[in-house]
Amino acid sequence: MNTRWEHFEHQADIGVRGYGRSLAEAFEQIAMALTAVITQPEGVSASRMIVVRCEAPDSELLLADWLNAVLREMSAMRMVFSRFSVEIEGNRLNAKLWGERLDQPRHQPVVEVKGASYHRLKVVKQDDNRWMAQCVVDV
């Protein structure tokens, strides 16, 4: 597998998927997939850091909460992110997000993501011991 994240088609919305050697790494990669729905992550400078914390009763709900927390920070801070560091202990997630203020002409955002849905929400450890996290985001 060359990419550690990918998009998949879903009617009018977009599916995002992340892979990793750990659950935390899969969550980092799905956040990259989320950024890539909006803009090219490699065009975003990691010049400012934001801290995010989430808690949920299971890993699937934690994934939805995580993606929605990233989207809240994008909206509230008018930022886009290109680097993520996630730590997960039990049902708690602590993360650092690095990015910069959205610059419309330079970042050329393609769509506005409204939120992570529970549709196709899935977090699994695969046969190759890698984690996969996915969901559909509303655009």
pLDDT of residue 2: 47
Q: Mind giving me the DSSP string for 89-118?
A: ETTEEEEEEEEEE--HHHH-------EE-S
Confidence category of residue 3, pLDDT binned at 50, 70, 90: low
How many folded domains does the chain comprise?
A: 1
Which CATH number do you get for residue 114?
A: 3.55.10.10
Question: Quick one: which H or E segment has residue 61?
Answer: helix 59-77
- Supply the range of the domain harboring residue 126: 5-138
pLDDT of residue 80: 97
Average pLDDT, stretch 50-72? 97
pLDDT of 78 higher than 80: yes
**Distance in angstroms (rounded) separating the CA atoms of residues 4 and 28:** 10
Taking each helix axis from N to C end, the angle separating 23-38 and 59-77, rounded to the nearest 10 degrees, works out to: 40
User: Within 13 Å of residue 4, how many CA atoms lie on the same side as its CB?
Assistant: 15
| 85-139 confidence digits (pLDDT tens) | 999 999 999 999 999 999 999 999 989 899 999 999 999 999 999 999 999 999 9
pLDDT of residue 1: 47
Residue type at position 99: G
In the chain, % of residues over pLDDT 70: 98
pLDDT of residue 52: 97
Mean pLDDT of the chain: 94
Instruction: Name the residue among 74, 116, 66 with its Cα closest to residue 91.
Output: 66
Confidence category of residue 10, pLDDT binned at 50, 70, 90: confident
